[in-house]
Structure 1
Amino acid sequence: MELRQLRYFVAIADHGSLSRAALMLHIAQPALTQQLRQLEQELGVQLLHRTAQGVLSTDAGKVFYEHAQAILKQVADARSAVAQSAERPSGSVTLGLPQSISGALALPLLKASRAQYPEITLQLTEELTGNLSDQLKSGRVNLAVLFDDGQLSQFATSPLAEEELHFICHADAAQATAAPAEITLEQALQAALILPGLQHGVRPRIESVARTAGLNVGSVIEINSIAILKSALLADMGATILPSAPVLDELRRGALRARRIHSPAISRTVVLCSSRNIPPTNAAAAIGRLVRQVSEQLCAAGLWPGATPL
Structure 2
Amino acid sequence: MEFRQLKYFLAVYEEGSLTSAARRLNVVQPALSQQISKLEEEIGRPLFSRTPKGMLPTREGEEAYTRFSGIIRDLETASQALSGDQQQIRGTVSIGVVASVANKALGETLQKFVLKYPEVRVKATGGYTTDLQEMLRTSRLDLIVVNAPPHLRDPRMVDIVTEDLCLITSSDTGMEFDGPVSLQRINELKLVIPSQRHGLRLIMDRAAAEQNIALAPRMEFDELKLIEDFVRATDYFTILPPIAVFRALRQGHLKAYPITPDIPRRLVYVSNPARPLSAAAEALIAEIREDMIEYSFDVERQLRDENGLSEV
TM bucket normalised to smaller: 0.7 to 0.9
What's the offset of the Cα at 1:241? 0.8
> How is 1:189-228 mapped onto 2 (pairs within 5 angstroms)?
189-218=187-216, 221-228=219-226
8 Å contact kept, 2:170–2:254: yes
Q: Distance in 1 between matches of 2:35 and 2:266?
A: 52
> How is 1:147-226 mapped onto 2 (pairs within 5 angstroms)?
147-149=147-149, 156-173=156-173, 177-218=175-216, 221-226=219-224
CA-to-aligned-CA distance 1:28-68 (integer Å, 9 cap, x gap): 75664343244243xxxx54334466543334534443444
Rate the CA distance shift 1:193–1:142 in 2: closer, same or farther, 3 A: same
What's the offset of the Cα at 1:261? 1.3
Residue identity in the other structure for 1:268: R
Q: Secondary structure at the match of 1:279?
A: coil
Gaps of 5+ in 1: none
* Alignment correspondent of 1:27: 31
Q: Distance in 1 between matches of 2:281 and 2:48?
A: 34
8 Å contact kept, 2:128–2:198: yes
Q: Distance in 2 between matches of 1:61 and 1:119?
A: 29
Rate the CA distance shift 1:299–1:170 in 2: closer, same or farther, 3 A: closer
CA-to-aligned-CA distance 1:250-288 (integer Å, 9 cap, x gap): 3345443322211x2211122233222212334544555
CA-to-aligned-CA distance 1:117-166 (integer Å, 9 cap, x gap): x5873737252342443343344443433222279766622223220111
Q: What TM-score results when the alignment is normalised by the length of structure 1?
A: 0.72
Gaps of 5+ in 2: 305-312
User: What is the root-mean-square deviation in Å for CA atoms of aligned residues?
Assistant: 4.1
* Alignment correspondent of 1:229: 227
> How is 1:38-117 mapped onto 2 (pairs within 5 angstroms)?
38-41=42-45, 47-51=47-51, 55-84=55-84, 88=87, 90-92=89-91, 94=93, 95-102=95-102, 103-104=104-105, 107=108, 111=112
What's the offset of the Cα at 1:172? 4.5
Identity %: 24
Residue identity in the other structure for 2:175: T
Q: Distance in 1 between matches of 2:69 and 2:133?
A: 16
- Counterpart of 1:269 (choices 262, 266, 279) is 266
8 Å contact kept, 1:113–1:290: no
What's the offset of the Cα at 1:185? 0.9
8 Å contact kept, 1:8–1:36: no
Q: Secondary structure at the match of 1:72?
A: helix
